[in-house]
Amino acid sequence: MSDNQTTAKPASKAKKPGTKTAGRKANVQGLAAREAILAAAESVLANHGYHQFSTRRVAEACDISVGNLTYHFPGKVKLIEALMQRICTRYATSRRDTEQSPDPTKHRDFEGAVRWIIEDAISSETSRLFVELWVLAKHHDFGAELVDDFYALALIWVGDSLRSHFPEADDSRVEAAAELLLTLSEGSTVLLARGQRPPERLIESAIAAARHIIESETVKPGEAHA
């Protein structure tokens, strides 16, 4: 071969038409399959509890094989981690959206805001899932972190709601009232969710206690009321 001749480069393989489209379609289908599995897993958790939760039961609820399920979630722990993230994210979004809702029937006043916090906690869907989330958090470190993060955000949302009704209130008192309301709401999940006790007395007590904390005069250490 002479010096003036150059070696021809092999022609690059042309991509088949529709390759990108097919890839996007497969990705969408994969996301849809994962979502369907997580929805089935949430139903199994709510209806059967953590101790009867298994990949086989979830696969049956989703009408797929266990092998298909493990393709998306390789093992029970990975499935549980994704499920907890899904539930916490959904409730975080829904509670934040409710706090910011312009709907006049929600958070119309301070008492309405407190009532919603308690009634949401004792609703059938919330109470069943969160009892199981507490169990998951006890058995898995990542679960404990997710639940801790969720409640840290919940304190912020409740506090922001209180500030919207008491804009002149001291921040420390708003935070204390938010802590009280969140503690009462989570306790009501166990105490009132089965419907054996009416929630009115707890709601009225929560309203009175939170109002007292926010509106009481702040007393510094070493001082006393005149």
Last residue of a domain, one of 34, 49, 74: 74
Q: What is the per-residue pLDDT for 27?
A: 61
User: Which whole number is the average pLDDT over 109-133?
Assistant: 88
Poorest-confidence range of 3-17, 140-154, 170-184?
A: 3-17
80-95: average pLDDT: 84
From CA 129, how far away is CA 180, in angstroms rounded?
A: 22
Do residues 201 and 154 both lie within one domain?
yes
- What is the count of structural domains for the chain? 2
Looking at residue 59, its amino acid is: A
On whether residue 169 sits in a domain, the answer given is yes
Q: Is the dihedral angle over the CA atoms 127, 133, 137, 141 positive or is it negative?
A: negative
Indicate if the pLDDT at residue 208 is higher than 70. Answer: yes
Across all residues in the chain, what is the average pLDDT? 81
Range of the domain at 191: 81-215
181 and 113 in a common domain: yes
225's CB contacts (< 8 A; 6+ apart) are 217, 219
User: What DSSP string runs through 103-151?
Assistant: -TTSSSSHHHHHHHHHHHHTSHHHHHHHHHHHHHHHH-HHHHHHHHHHH
pLDDT > 90 in the chain, percent = 39
pLDDT at 101 over 60: no
CA 196 to CA 109: how far, in whole Å?
28
Those residues whose C-beta lies under 8 Å from the C-beta of residue 110, and which sit 6 or more positions away, are: 162, 165, 166, 207, 210, 211
Instruction: Write out pLDDT tens, residues 147-182.
Output: 898 889 889 989 998 998 999 999 999 999 999 999
pLDDT band at 190 (very low <50, low <70, confident <90, very high): confident
Task: Tell me whether residue 223 is in a domain.
Answer: no
Confidence (pLDDT) at 40? 95
Mean pLDDT over 200-218 rounds to 90
Does 165 lie in the same domain as 127?
yes
Is 0.75 topped by the overall pTM?
Answer: no
Whether 207 and 102 share a structural domain: yes
Instruction: Please give the residue that has the higher pLDDT: either 191 or 47.
Output: 47
Q: Can you give the CATH number for the domain in which 182 is found? A: 1.10.357
The CATH number that applies at residue 23 is: 1.10.10.60
Domain boundary among 74, 96, 116: 74
